[in-house]
Chain A
Amino acid sequence: MSDNNLNEAQKRVGVYVCHCGGNISDVVDIKKIVDEISKYHSVVVARDYVFMCSSNGQSLIEDDIKNMGINRIVVAACMPSLHELTFRNAIQRAGLNPYLYEHINIREQVSWVHKDNPQGATSKAILLIKAGVEKVLMQDPLNAIRVNAEHRVLIIGGGISGMRAAVSSADNGIEVVIVEKEKKLGGKLNRDGYVYPSDEKAVDIVNKFSKKILSNPLIKVYTESEIINIGGYVGNFDIKIKKTDGDIDNIKAGSIIVATGFDHYMPYDGEYGYKKSDYVLRLKEFIELLSKSDGLEFVFKGKKINSIGFIHCVGSRQNEGIDAPQADGKVNEYCSRVCCTSGIYTMNKLKEKFPDVNVYDVYADIRTYGMESESLYEIASKHDVIFFRRPLDERPQITFEGDKIKITTTDILSFNERLEMEVDMLVLLTGMKPSEIDDISGYLKLSKSTNRFLQEVHPKLRPVEMNINGVFAAGTSLSPMDITESLQSAQTAAMKSAILLSNPDIPLDPFVAVVDEERCTGCGRCVEECLYSGAVTITEKTIDGNIKKVAYVNPAMCKGCGACVAVCSERAIDLNGSRLSQFEAMIDAIVKE
């Protein structure tokens, strides 16, 4: 494109202001913005629309590019991470370089935070847009960086999500490497007993997948193996795998699916009597015990079990000040989603085997969401499981009297009566917490949510994508899920990874550091500062016949963070798309008024 050679007078800016329904226009005065911005230098047209991201809104921009010769675009709307790409695509469709565009956030940074001061908000929006105009005027056309991609996916974790993602990826024709730390595939499903919603033996599900995986020549499985490093970038990740025998395999992968799953919440000693008595069990322990118990009577360690209490929300839905904090000082505020249903499913299994055992269930809300689960709840009621509903901010008290366990709780269902019941056994419906994956998330620099599970880019727009390009997450590494939900999520991750690898080369944003080799002194401070090892290095180059040390940026590895720019005393390194001179022009525009 010949755009590089345009003089100032030939640069024609179009500014597009979005109402975002009312998200923006309820606070800021859109008409005033448009009036004022249309008078600003170089601005040829300023328009507003109720939803600029809609088809109509995008057409406004495309038509102006085609009909009015607009060649610089400023969109003032929501945060760029939502729709920057939407507008870039529209601009490209109209035949303009998609990077001749600046996205100004007047929602999160203006209307949402200045609701109390509409006038001030409007002035701020105008200033930010003017700054955007200055920036886009100094913007050069850029081209996406293209990198070759390995047609191979690394799947970390061989539980149900990892196995599903592996089969879906291989069915798509992509080579798969699964790395599992345990001896065999299957993760948490390698246990005794049955699972909802299919009422199958847990291990039968593992076997269904194992057969498919082990017979598939595209899938390589590493068990009892550990990932000891991940380097590289999208399309070209370098992975070091330490095998059982201590040997290290190096593999390359184009994309990564993190399917590291969950750990069971482990009650601290004494939490609801855990470890204070052999008869206080976690649900997982109880399921295994039940599947081994047969006969007419339920006997455990020599004691006949006539009554069992179940406590919901152990390690989940915790409140600060009521529950003891976790290792990081925070409580687990989240709901673990599966414990109500798996608990009630297990109570039904118990009642089918030992109908005479009395079951008492202490809960806050019964969350048997979905079709099949609600019927399990009904069946439990028919089995005469007795439900006690505690207030949200109260916990049942557990005491031991002889060989009995006493549960004391307030019961809302009997009009807040204080109840005491004695049982022979207590089962804690413990929740989920994310697996310990600080190593993996460290190598890949993955974001975590406030609940410590992995943080997706956006729960609705990009629910399985991580903040690092080419890395996806599946199943309970993202949040608590049941088996079916994990399978869905794993297949969606496999789909996104397959789409990424469906082209031989992957386009990357060109917002990377560039070196002015004349100015560069080769001091290496940028290398010290760089967060992405290998993205910037010092090399020797022949410039005007002299050998000179200069910084070299690998555009595929550079994330465009700008740390190097900040430390360079020579102003020899700069960022494509966000040059220092552009920031200076923006600041000038803001302080001028």
Chain B
Amino acid sequence: MIVHDVDLDVRPHETVGLIGPNGSGKSTLLRCVAGLRAPSTGVVRYDGEDISGWSRRQVARRIAFVEQVSHADSDLRLIDVVGLGRTPFRDPWRGPTVIDRLVIEAAVERLGLTGLEERQWSTLSGGERQRAHIARALAQQPYGILLDEPTNHLDVRHQFELMELLAGSEATVIVALHDLSLAARYCDRLVLLDGGTPVAAGTPDEVLSRDRLRSVFEMDAELGTDALGNPAVVYRSPISAAGRPTARRTAT
């Protein structure tokens, strides 16, 4: 996937949602921002500094990155996985310090994983693994967190808990999301990608207009508020290639 013409400025403590259909370049953009792929043109800057000359370790001390759930097999225990987040701060010859252990403990607790510390990775559910990776990211004490579809595999309660955690976090957050309602509710700003380029950026109200939902997501839908007054996207039906809703419209 090629991503081009991105001009994105994320402010400290902001929670920015990356949205867009499959293959629109969300993951690629996240990897560029994480410094995992060097852009062939253009620069990624943290606090105004070009990161292209930075060591991996320097980047890791600023930014934590959580990949989409991978099905990696591992012998590690949950607490070992969270402990990986201390890697950027550890000397090769020294074991974990007391501080490391306290931070790991705090991260485990923040994600509600207390009691599962000793469990083998293979015995954890998809949601527990996802939360362990996020706890690992928090153990990096990051200034910024990048997450690629972190709500996949989470049940409803944990989806909302995670989004509340991210939105309430001091860290700057960039999160790729499929769930537009979650994005609208918890993100300060949204960036809508289509075909590898941002087509809109701004507050959820500005970005999730009915026209864009139609042209980018090919859905007849609109952003409204649910019965409790929270922002939510209401979907009517997908739009066929001819540009007409495929399903019969319910009485309007």
Physical interaction between A and B:
no
